[in-house]
Amino acid sequence: DDAERLAAFEARVAADEFIEPKDWMPDAYRKTLVRQISQHAHSEIVGMLPEGNWIGRAPSLRRKAILLAKVQDEAGHGLYLYCAAETLGTSRDEMTAALLAGKAKYSTIFNYPTLTWADIGTIGWLVDGAAIMNQVPLQRTSYGPYARAMVRICKEESFHQRQGYEAVMALCAGTPEQKAMAQDALNRWWWPSLMMFGPPDDASPNTEQSMRWRIKRDTNDALRQKFVDVTVPQAEAIGLTIPDPALRWNEDKDGYDFGQPDWDEFWAVVKGDGPVAADRMAARNKAWDDGAWVRDAAIAHAEKRALKRAA
Ligand code: ACO
């Protein structure tokens, strides 16, 4: 019966076994995974926009080639994640429809504008850096297909983080104007990057259950702390200042104390009020509409081939 199946499921999770698509799972576990994986997939897809916006303006052929590869990687991540979510019984069409209708969430970070070239390096450094911090533990998430999708994604995110830091490093070694541009980008992206980890643990409705089911392996605050601890020395190494007057080393906890992002702004952006949220949704809808002929042609081609094969 259900109580027995639930106990067996929980024992498997507690033993760090992967749960696979055909295994029995509680409805709420399935629902939570669909929610998290589909949001994650949407984030990868919408995340192509702020950077895609700079491909034509990258300052050299080398930077352009790197940026093209990175944006293409994000599309791939979105596809692996949609596939992982599909193993739970939701279709990619349903997930896409929810995104295009403005009903699905995606990471708040992608609702901020990329104003200068320094923003592109800073996104690689901070945004992909935060993404790795969150995604490395997800390689051990309890749902097999999600965990396995994370393996390749983390390898690619690691390249993204490094190329970003290297681009910022180049600006910091450049003219005073270039260095100022890097500092300005850090000032604007620091707090939104901290928001990527989600609300503080005591304001996070999903954390407790997701930790118990080992969907999440660390809490939002724990990952945010790790990110700050890793990133502050990186900023110092290239002569940049983290825009947080409360930031200081805490010997006792062997980590930094730091200030809190503006959580009212965070919730407003979660609800769709981001500075460029409307632009992002318009761009996704336009891409979908503009791509209709490709989908139609692919279906017509497949139908023709099926007819030929049947003949
Ligand atoms: N942006 C948008 N929504 C957010 C964010 C954020 N930065 N942080 C939290 N939320 C939403 C949650 O989705 C949740 O809403 P929901 O219940 O309607 O889904 C609500 O705020 C409350 O947050 P939590 O209870 O903390 O939610 P959760 O346990 O899902 O934790 C987290 C949020 C940490 C983002 C988790 O879902 C996760 O680890 N996701 C996988 C990683 C990911 O999505 N990364 C995307 C950005 S990285 C990249 O794409 C390059």
Q: How far is CA 58 from the centre of its chain?
A: 23
Residue 268 alpha carbon to ligand 1 centre in Å: 14
**Closest residue CA from atom 27 of ligand 1:** 206
Q: What does pLDDT average to over the chain?
A: 97
Taking the centre of ligand 1 as the mean of its atom positions, its distance from the CA of residue 38, in whole angstroms, is 10
Tell me, using a 6 A CB cutoff, whether residue 161 lines ligand 1: no
Q: What is the per-residue pLDDT across 97-117, written as a single tens digit (0 to 9) for each?
A: 999 999 999 999 999 999 999
Is the ipTM, as predicted for this complex, more than 0.95?
yes
- Residue-wise burial string across 142-174, b where 16 or more C-beta atoms lie within 10 A, e elsewhere: bbbbbbebbeebbebbeebbebbbebbbebbee
Closest listed residue to residue 129, CA positions, set 196, 178, 77, 50? 196
pTM of the model as a whole: 0.96
Whole-angstrom Cα Rg for the chain = 21
DSSP letters spanning 225-258: HHHHHHHHHHHHHTT---S-TT-EEETTTTEEE-
CA of 302 to the centre of ligand 1 (A): 38
Distance 198 CA to ligand 1 centre (A): 6
Closest CA to 199 of 149, 261, 140: 261
Q: Is 90 exceeded by the pLDDT of residue 1?
A: no
Cite the beta strand spans of 142-270 per DSSP E: 248-250, 255-257
pLDDT given for residue 99 in this prediction: 97
Q: What is the average per-residue pLDDT within 264-276?
A: 96
Give the CA dihedral 106, 108, 109, 115, nearest 10 degrees: 110
Residue 266 in tokens: 């965070």
C-beta 107 within 6 A of ligand 1: yes
For residue 87, what pLDDT is reported?
A: 98
Q: Provide mean pLDDT across the span 297-310.
A: 96
- Predicted pLDDT of residue 2: 85
What confidence tens digit (pLDDT) does each residue in 182-234 have? 999 999 999 999 999 999 999 999 999 999 999 999 999 999 999 999 999 99
- Ligand 1 atom closest to the Cα of residue 196 is 7
